[in-house]
Amino acid sequence: MTPYTLIKVSWVVGAIAGVLPIGDGFGLAGWVALNTATVGMAGLGIAVALALVRPWGLRLPVRLVAGVAWVGTGFLVPLLPYAVLDSLLGLPDGAPRHRHDGGPAMPGWEAVLIQTSFTGMGLGLAIALPAHLRRRRPEVFAGRVGDAGHGLARPVWWAAGAGAVIGAVWVYWALGGTAGVAHPAQRGTDERLLTGLWGLWALTAAAATWTIGRGRPARLPRWIPLTLGWLGTGSLCAWSGWRLPFVLYVALAHPTGTALPENLTVATVLHVVAVAAGAVMLPALVRTRGSVAAPEAVDDTGSRLS
């Protein structure tokens, strides 16, 4: 994430100095605040990545590490397919790219560095996080789906259903559907591709929750739906939690020259429900554990548990 962080810092410094443009619909204060927040998020991501691979990370509370990493993987890992597809469908090298936050066009080299940062961080989290969690809480991953399944509470089933509906809506929009879209012409290839991926991850979260809750297929290793559910619920919470403030800002402030493709009321409802659904499904996935004996774990101080 270092290239991304340095680029964001340059945007803040350049905007304050008056040598770089400010994003459409933003004042100087809002633009600086937005990019300062993303610099902080990137710094937190770097710290979490180090915690996952360094011995001192084992001394941190596992809930803290897992919670922050869940949001990080929700942001980044679902974007890996987008990075591959965008490289195949994107603009030629050196061509200006438009940011999804409504900002001015950026040079192609800058877009490549940002995408490389996201892709590298996503791959790193995808490898380091499972290894870290399996070392500290192996019982969560042990066994098969059908081992001593206890079902799920009714709110979790409702959350899974909501996730499936939200995913279906986003896939529908990605395929060109216009119901609930106020400005269809604004939905370019990048926007539709991202929306489709978010929809597929929402459907994945719902399917993983259903699989673990029903205990079927019984012989499926538990770590498969747990991993997919982790990524899907993280995507729901992280991306909807990130986009919701922008939707509310446009809906309430009506900034000049800024409009979102979706109907603002529909988008607000979808993002609020998506955050809630992801937050409800994840604890249910983690707490519904198999009854098989797990290998020895490492506690929060790094010592072995017998």
- Cα–Cα distance for residue pair 209/285, rounded to 1 Å: 6
What is the pLDDT, as a whole number, of residue 160? Answer: 95
- Cα–Cα distance for residue pair 202/236, rounded to 1 Å: 6
Across 107-120, b (16+ Cβ under 10 Å) vs e yields ebebbbbbbebbbb
What is the pLDDT, as a whole number, of residue 36? Answer: 86
What is the pLDDT, as a whole number, of residue 93? Answer: 41
Model pLDDT for residues 105-143, shown as the tens digit of each residue: 566 667 777 777 777 887 888 788 888 888 888 877 778
Model pLDDT for residues 181-238, shown as the tens digit of each residue: 888 888 887 888 889 999 999 999 999 999 988 888 888 988 889 889 989 999 999 9
Alpha-carbon dihedral sign for residues 192, 193, 197, 198: negative
Using the structure block, give the residue that is written with the tokens 């619909």. 25
What is the pLDDT, as a whole number, of residue 294? Answer: 39
In the numeric block, which tokens belong to residue 24? 């459409």
For residue 301, the tally of other CB atoms under 10 A from its CB is 8
- pLDDT category of residue 87 using cuts at 50, 70 and 90: low
What is the pLDDT, as a whole number, of residue 150? Answer: 61
Is the CB of residue 156 less than 8 Å from the CB of residue 211?
A: no
- Cα–Cα distance for residue pair 43/41, rounded to 1 Å: 5
